[in-house]
Amino acid sequence: MDSHMSFTSHLTARLLPNDYQEGDYDLIGLTVLPEYLIPITSVTAPEVSILIKMIDCLWNTTMSAPVKADSEYKRDFNGLNTKPSLILTSNPIPSTTLEPMTVIMQKTKIHSRTSVSQNIFQPVATSAPPSVFTTRSDHPVDRKGIKPQKDPLQTNKFYANFFLGNQNASSWTHPYSVAWVKGDAKAKSWGMSITHIDADKKVFDQSTNPPRYFINPISNLSIIISSSELGSSTYLSTDTLTSTSVNVNLHPNSSAPAQITFPLVQGMGFVTALFHGGTPILQSTIFFRNITKYLTAPKPGVSKYKITLEDNAIWFLYAYSPSSANLEFQFVSNQLLQATFKFNGILQVAKNPPSNFLAEKIYDTACGTYATSVTLVGSVNSDSGSYTFSYIKGGLSNTTLVMFALPHHVASFSLDTSKKITDIQLETTTKGKATAIVADSWTMIEHLPTIIGFRPWNPQFPNDKKILSANTVNSIRKVANVEISQDMANQTNLNSFYFSGKALAKFASVVYTLKELLDDECVAQVGLSKLKSSFALFISNKNQSPLFYETAWKGVVSSATYSTGDKERDFGNTYYNDHHFHFGYFILAAALIGSIDPNWAQANKDYINTLVRDIANPSSADTYFPVSRCFDWYHGHSWASGLFESSNGKDQESSSED
């Protein structure tokens, strides 16, 4: 891609070139206030800003050649090269430039950002999507095993593999991964596997130095939780799908009630299994070396076991029953442990970090309770923002949770949350070491660069409006006059939301540059008029692949797959792939236009708001879209993968377009 972008909140982005080094470029920051972009319908809605860093060389880039209207844009989901090439040929540089016309431009307003807000996660809107979007009740992807629920279904979350494909690909809660074994020939089980990979088990590329890649082997299943009643008729269902959690249920058959429920929440300290009358069994493909039952219970009603595997890993097992039943396991083989009776209660497992003897005490104290979901709240006070994860709990109410935080959480913890940090750490696959936190809520505090606007900005001269040198301005002017003369209509009217959006955002950047940086209002107005005309094709939903609003999963999707049957068309947009940058380019273009012409933003807010709601709905009060479809508040970035089964879990293939 042309540059590196990282969305750091539901409407926040940073844009840097691939070879960026701090200090090498004049930075341009973008801040769009609601009156410039999308007036919020809720009377309690606070200001939300889009913060974007841009490089002056961005204006010097040209759009990759316009592609024929009948070209196909596909993504190869097996990891092969995209077909056809993303970059085909270069645009010819026009030999003439546009003739300026006399216009009256609206002056851009500058606002002070010193507001104090309550919870910032207020709905963008709560009304139905505009009628310009045809509504459909069907979608090419079945909602496999998903129990009906009132809230919109999530499409891009960590647990999606449980309702996609064969339903047996792994899901990562970190530091653990879980997967339905589904009769695997090696494991011979129909239960749920729990896997954790220590740092010394990672396999690194040996052909180059430094290594080009490393692998987390996930085929060795540390612990499998199942019941003796589960067999080849086992049915997997999911319920209570939220942006941070899900319940996964294993049934003896499709018509039987769930026998085991696994409440999955990112960062959970224990993998928890709620038994509803089945006979628990534990299995392992690494093999059990020994299992020891503790004679002294860590708390009333709880049985405790220490399990040592053949890879020297130590796991702790806790069983809590409201009836105080003392769960007993029999050693059947080095791959199988079986309980002696049917069980109604909580079974929990947690891994002991290598050479850490403090974890056992922490686990003993926290056992018997588990997280079921997360409530997210956030606030802004001037240039300081905070957000809090408040965990909803099940099990023992008088017990505090143990949850694992990623390094970026720990670095931002409030003073009170920092006091809950322990010395327990477990390796994650790609996010470093996760740290155990004993608390029912976490608060993170972040500094907000509120003084950055659309204009060039330098931290040494934050209030200097003329930060670009005369030579830089002259260089930009030459290129801008050429680029604004390109065939905007043909470059934006493509059968790909991705490439159409990139083109609209490019030309919007050029128009903004002409007006705000070069003070060339006449040429800027010519470009703005063309840009509005090109954008109008999409706002009227008369582009080559119009958007549908579909009610099966609840979202706006390209009609391309509906009309062609090709799930990979436009990189899988119909399957909710890549929406945050497909639609993000449209939102960026609208922000730039709206900063110049607020009346245009007001007139077209419903269309733009719909795109925002699809990718970044901040509130469950908006029942037409799931909350935070793309952004993962635990990981701190978005996931691009939509309704495609992925054996390696969700991915964000382009950091430049997060």
- Residues noted as catalytic: 578, 653, 657
Question: Who's near 160: CB < 8 A, 6+ residues apart?
Answer: 154, 171, 641, 643, 646, 650
DSSP 12: B
The answer to whether 282 and 329 are in contact (CB under 8 A) is: yes
Question: Who's near 273: CB < 8 A, 6+ residues apart?
Answer: 192, 225, 260, 261, 262, 280, 346, 347, 348
How many whole angstroms separate alpha carbon 316 and alpha carbon 379?
A: 39
What DSSP letter does each residue of 565-602 carry, written as one string?
--TTBGGGGGGTTTHHHHHHHHHHHHHHHHHH-HHHHH
Element counts in the chain: helices (H) and strands (E): 11, 33
**b (16+ CB within 10 A) / e for 543-573:** bbbbbbbbeebbbbbbbbbbeeeebbbbbbb
The single-letter code of the amino acid at 210 is: P
Residue found by looking up tokens 């979202």 in the block: 555
How many whole angstroms separate alpha carbon 593 and alpha carbon 525?
A: 11
- The whole-angstrom distance between residue 205's C-alpha and the CA centroid of its chain comes to 28
For the record, the structure tokens of 586 come out as 């449209």
Phi and psi of 423, rounded to 5°?
A: -90, 5
Q: How open is the CA angle 349-351-354, to the nearest 5 degrees?
A: 165
User: What are the respective helix, strand and coil percentages of the chain, to the nearest 5?
Assistant: 20, 25, 50
Taking CB atoms within 8 Å and a gap of at least 24, the contacts of 292-299 are 293/328, 293/329, 298/364, 298/365, 298/367, 299/364, 299/367, 299/368, 299/396
How many whole angstroms separate alpha carbon 391 and alpha carbon 441?
A: 6
Residue found by looking up tokens 């709601």 in the block: 613
The answer to whether 16 and 4 are in contact (CB under 8 A) is: yes
Strand ranges for 219-328 from DSSP E: 223-227, 235-239, 245-251, 260-265, 271-276, 280-283, 288-293, 302-309, 314-320
DSSP 44: T
Is residue 150 helix, strand or coil?
A: coil
Q: Strands across the sheet with 245-251, in order?
A: 235-239, 245-251, 260-265, 271-276, 344-351, 314-320, 302-309, 288-293
Is residue 258 helix, strand or coil?
A: coil
The answer to whether 498 and 75 are in contact (CB under 8 A) is: no
The Cα diameter of the chain in Å comes to 89
The answer to whether 249 and 265 are in contact (CB under 8 A) is: no
Give the CA radius of gyration of the chain. Answer: 27
Is residue 204 helix, strand or coil?
A: strand
How many whole angstroms separate alpha carbon 56 and alpha carbon 502?
A: 17
* CA proximity to 90, closest of 57, 62, 69: 62
